[in-house]
Chains A and B, each alone.
Chain A
C-alpha cells in the first residue's frame, strides 16, 4: 500500500456573503486507493480532531449517478480524467508531492453556500419550467402503443444520462448552461411523447435559463469535454434549431 503527501489549495468561505480565500493544507499519508472524496474525508477527520472547521463539500451516492458531488480540481470540473464525477476520481491518478487546487463550481448563477458547496437550484427552476410531459396517470400504457424509432430512442437516452451536476456551467468560459438545458430539452424533444409541448418547453426552459443569469454559449465545447456523462454538444445544436423554430411558430402560426 503506497501513500501520497500532497499540498491542497482549498477555497474556504464561511458563508454566502463572506469573502472567501484559498487556504493551504498539507495532506500527508493519503492512500492511493482512496477516492478524491475519501481523501477529503481523511483531511477533514484530522481537522476535526484538531478542533478546526472541516472543509464542506457536496456528495451523496459516491458512485457517479446522483450528480451531487462537484469540485473544480486544478481548474477542471470533476478533475482531469474526463467522463467521470469527482466521487469516481481516485488518488492513484495523482503523484507524491503534487499540489492540488480545489475550488467550487464557479458561476454567478451558482452562488457559494459554504466552502465548496454551491447552490445549484437554478437547474431545478429550469426543469420546473419545462422539463416534463403531460400524461394520463393510471395503468401503464401498452409498450407498442406509441412507436419510437430506434435512433430517437438512443438519442433521447443519451441526453437523459445527464445527472444535472453543473460541471458544464463550471467549465464554460461564459458560465453558460446550454449543455444542461439542451440535454434536458432534447431528451423529451426527441420522443413522440414530448411533441405536444415541444415549442412551449423550449421557450420556457430557455427563458428561465436566461433569467437565472447564465451566460451565452460561444461554441467552445468545454462543457462537452468535462461532462461526466459525456453528453454531446449535438444537443446544443438541436436546442438552437428548436428554439428558432419555436419562436417562428410563436410569431407566425
Chain B
C-alpha cells in the first residue's frame, strides 16, 4: 500500500475521519435535494413541462450525464450509510446506560438520526424500484408513452399523478419526507461542525440555516402529494 491509500484507510478507521466522510458525502446528497425538488415542482406547470424535463435529463451529455449523476449519488449514499451505521454501533458499545436518564440540550432530531436515516433508506429503495427500475407497474407500457413536439416521450406527469393516487404510497412518502426534514434539521448544521467551520458566534446562524433548509425541502416535496391526493390536482 502506498502512503495515500494507507492514510485513507486510517482516516476511515478513525472517529473524526469517518465523520468527515459522513459530512462530505452528506453535502453531495444535500446539494442533490434542491435540484430534485425543482425538477419535481415542474409537475405544477403541466404535463409538457415535466415530460420535457424528463427527456432533458435522459439526453443530457448524450445520455451519459444521468449515469454519472446516478453513480456519484449512489456511491455517496452507500458510503454515508455504511459509515453512520458503523459509527452508531461503536457509540452504542461505548456507552453504559443510566438508571435515571436525562437530556440537557440534545435535540430530538439529533437523537433519532439513525432511525430517520434508515427510514429514508427504505424509502429510497422503494422509490428507485418504483420510478427508476419500474418493477410491479406498467410505467414502461404504452399507457405511459406520450408525444412531445411530435417525438415519443415518457409520460412522467402521469407517473406522478398515478403514483400519488394510491393512499399507501402517498402515506409512506409523507412519513419519509418528514423523516428527511428531521434528518436535515440536525444534519445540515452538523456538516459545519464536523468540517470545523462552526463557532459559538456563528452557531445560531448555522442552526437557523439548517432548520430553514429542512423546512423548504419538507414543504416543497410535500406540496406535490398533498396537491394530488388531497386536492385532486391532475386526477
Residues of chain A at the chain B interface (Cβ within 8 Å): 9, 11, 22, 72, 74-76, 101, 103, 106-109, 171-176, 206-207, 209-210, 213-222, 225-226, 232-234, 236-244, 247, 250-252
**Residue B146 at the A interface, CB < 8 A?**
no
- Known contacts A210-B14, A218-B110, A244-B20; A238 and B196 CB within 8 A of each other: yes
> How far, in angstroms, from A239 to B14 measured CA to CA in the complex?
13
Q: What chain B residues lie within 8 Å of A172 (beta carbons)?
A: 95
Taking CB atoms, residues of chain A closer than 8 Å to B122 are: none
B interface residues, Cβ below 8 angstroms from A:
3-4, 6-8, 10-11, 14-20, 87, 90-91, 93-107, 110-111, 113, 186, 189-190, 192-200
Given A219-B193, A244-B20, A106:B101 Cβ within 8 A: no
- Determine the distance from Cα of A236 to Cα of B199 in the docked complex, in whole angstroms: 10
Inter-chain CA distance A30–B15, complex, in Å, is 45
The answer to whether B190 and A22 have CB atoms under 8 Å apart is: no
Residues of A with C-beta under 8 A to B195: 240-241, 244
Q: Which residues of A contact B15 (CB under 8 A)?
A: 176, 206, 209-210, 214-217
- What's the dominant secondary structure at chain A's contact region? mixed
Contacts A76-B102, A242-B196, A250-B7 known; 20 new A-B pairs at CB < 8 A:
A9-B100, A75-B103, A174-B95, A175-B91, A176-B94, A207-B14, A215-B90, A215-B93, A216-B18, A216-B90, A218-B110, A219-B186, A220-B110, A232-B200, A233-B198, A234-B198, A243-B20, A244-B20, A244-B196, A247-B10
| Chain B residues whose C-beta falls within 8 Å of the C-beta of A234 in the assembled complex | 198-200
Contact of B94 among A107, A232, A237 (CB under 8 A): A107
| Cβ distance B194 to chain A, nearest Cβ, rounded Å | 6
Is B16 a contact partner of A237 (Cβ separation < 8 A)?
A: no
Across the A-B interface, the 7 shortest Cβ-Cβ residue pairs = A241-B196, A75-B102, A215-B94, A251-B7, A220-B106, A174-B91, A101-B100
**By the criterion CB–CB under 8 Å, are B7 and A75 in contact?**
no
Q: Are A218 and B95 in contact (CB under 8 A)?
A: no
